[in-house]
């Protein structure tokens, strides 16, 4: 089962992998040194943990994702709505916009998404 519970550091690392995959583990070490100021052992430790969580694979020295960035954040969003709002998307939207409101552009974009969803015949 996919684990979407990542700390900020693990998430930043995941973003690097998604942006550069497939990437050799050696190149990943260099990127993490440049972008995160990590030493080689830190990179490999975090990579191993994210492989154990089912996000990535390090096979033959090449790191690839098992889960795309979009799929990861989609799963995280669904989990959040389920855990925090008993699975109610309307309750989430109401909480999200209360006190913040929506711009005209945001409301139009949401309306367009709903219209497209209805056209596809989804229930």
- What's residue 101's pLDDT? 85
Topology of domain 8-66, CATH:
Arc Repressor Mutant, subunit A (1.10.10)
Contact 26, 61 (CB under 8 A): yes
Query: What is the strand order of the sheet 56-59 is part of?
Result: 23-24, 62-65, 56-59
Which of 1-10, 18-27, 72-81 has maximum average pLDDT?
Answer: 18-27
For the entire predicted model, the pTM comes to: 0.79
Degrees to nearest 5, angle at CA 106 with 104 and 107: 65
Does residue 42 carry a pLDDT above 90?
Answer: yes
Give, as one character, the DSSP assignment of residue 3: -
pLDDT digits (tens, 9 = 90+) for 72-94: 999 999 999 999 999 999 999 99
CA atoms within 13 A on the CB side of 40: 3
- The domain segmentation of the chain, as residue ranges, is 8-66, 70-119
CA distance 57 to 43: 14
Residue from 10, 3, 9, 40 nearest 25 by CA: 40
């Amino acid at each position: 089962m996919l684990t979407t519970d990542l700390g900020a550091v693990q998430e930043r690392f995941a973003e690097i992998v998604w942006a550069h995959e497939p990437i050799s583990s050696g190149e990943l070490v260099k990127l993490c040194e440049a972008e995160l100021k990590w030493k080689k052992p830190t990179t490999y430790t975090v990579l191993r943990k994210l492989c154990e969580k089912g996000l990535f694979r390090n096979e033959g020295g090449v790191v690839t994702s098992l889960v795309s960035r979009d799929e990861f954040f989609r799963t995280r969003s669904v989990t959040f709505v389920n855990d925090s709002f008993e699975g109610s998307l309307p309750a989430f939207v109401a909480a999200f916009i209360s006190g913040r409101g929506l711009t005209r552009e945001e409301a139009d974009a949401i309306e367009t998404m709903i219209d497209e969803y209805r056209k596809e015949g989804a229930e």
